[in-house]
């Protein structure tokens, strides 16, 4: 059983390693925003954050679990904790293949005209990279419009 806790400065290198290994966006990995999942022996096995962009939008980001610990509900626990701790509108970007997972957690796919500026730019950049065959999977931008009562975590 893993424990979720706020990240500490000592977790910063482990967060960077997890994010890089998962090939997620390595920018803006500010450890005080992170929640980490730690195994009983103290190993950092997962993480996630909510970050605020210049346009004021907030993003559920950097959700990753170490390969040996996947399919145990850790990512879901991290997402539910962060979503419950940040009421109101939250956005996320994910691979198309993960859309149904996030829909089960209260997020809905949104169209370009519904996206804040930051996400329109990311979406446009991703489409350009996709046309150049630099990425293999599609990108979704999703939003949770209001606080959802996931597993009793809503405040």
* Structural domain harbouring 107: 3-144
pLDDT at 125: 81
Mean pLDDT per 10-residue run, the chain (155 residues)? 96 97 91 97 97 94 96 96 94 92 94 92 80 66 72 41
Residue 56: burial class (beta carbons within 10 Å; 0-12, 13-18, 19+): exposed
CATH code assigned at 8? 3.40.630.30
The answer as to whether 154 is a domain residue is no
The answer as to whether 155 is a domain residue is no
How many structural domains are present in the chain? 1
pLDDT at 35: 98
Nearest CA among 99, 90, 100, 1 for reference residue 48: 90
Residue pair 64/24 in contact by the 8 Å Cβ criterion: yes
The answer as to whether 140 is a domain residue is yes
The phi and psi torsions of 50 (rounded to 5 degrees) equal -120, 125
Could you give the CA distance from residue 94 to residue 129 in angstroms, rounded to a whole number?
A: 15
CA 78 to chain centre: 9
Tokens matching residue 125: 């950049």
The answer as to whether 54 is a domain residue is yes
The answer as to whether 67 is a domain residue is yes
- 76-111 core/surface letters (b: 16 or more CB in 10 A; e: else): bbbbbbbbbebeeebbbbbeeebbeebeebbbeebe
pLDDT at 152: 44
Residue pair 48/14 in contact by the 8 Å Cβ criterion: no
The answer as to whether 153 is a domain residue is no
Q: pTM of the entire structure?
A: 0.85
């Amino acid at each position: 059983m893993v424990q979720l806790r706020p990240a500490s400065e000592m977790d910063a290198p482990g967060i960077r390693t997890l994010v890089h290994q998962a090939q997620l966006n390595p920018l803006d990995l500010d450890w005080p925003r992170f929640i980490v999942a730690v195994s009983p022996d103290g190993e950092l096995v997962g993480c996630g954050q909510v970050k605020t962009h210049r346009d004021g939008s907030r993003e559920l980001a950097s959700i990753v679990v170490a390969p040996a610990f996947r399919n145990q509900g850790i990512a879901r626990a991290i997402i539910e904790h962060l979503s419950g701790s940040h009421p109101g509108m939250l956005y996320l970007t994910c691979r198309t293949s993960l859309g149904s997972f996030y829909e089960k957690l209260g997020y809905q796919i949104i169209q370009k005209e519904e996206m804040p500026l930051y996400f329109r730019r990311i979406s446009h950049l991703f489409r350009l990279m996709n046309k150049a065959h630099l990425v293999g999977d599609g990108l979704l931008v999703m939003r949770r419009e209001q606080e959802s009562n996931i597993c009793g975590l809503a405040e």
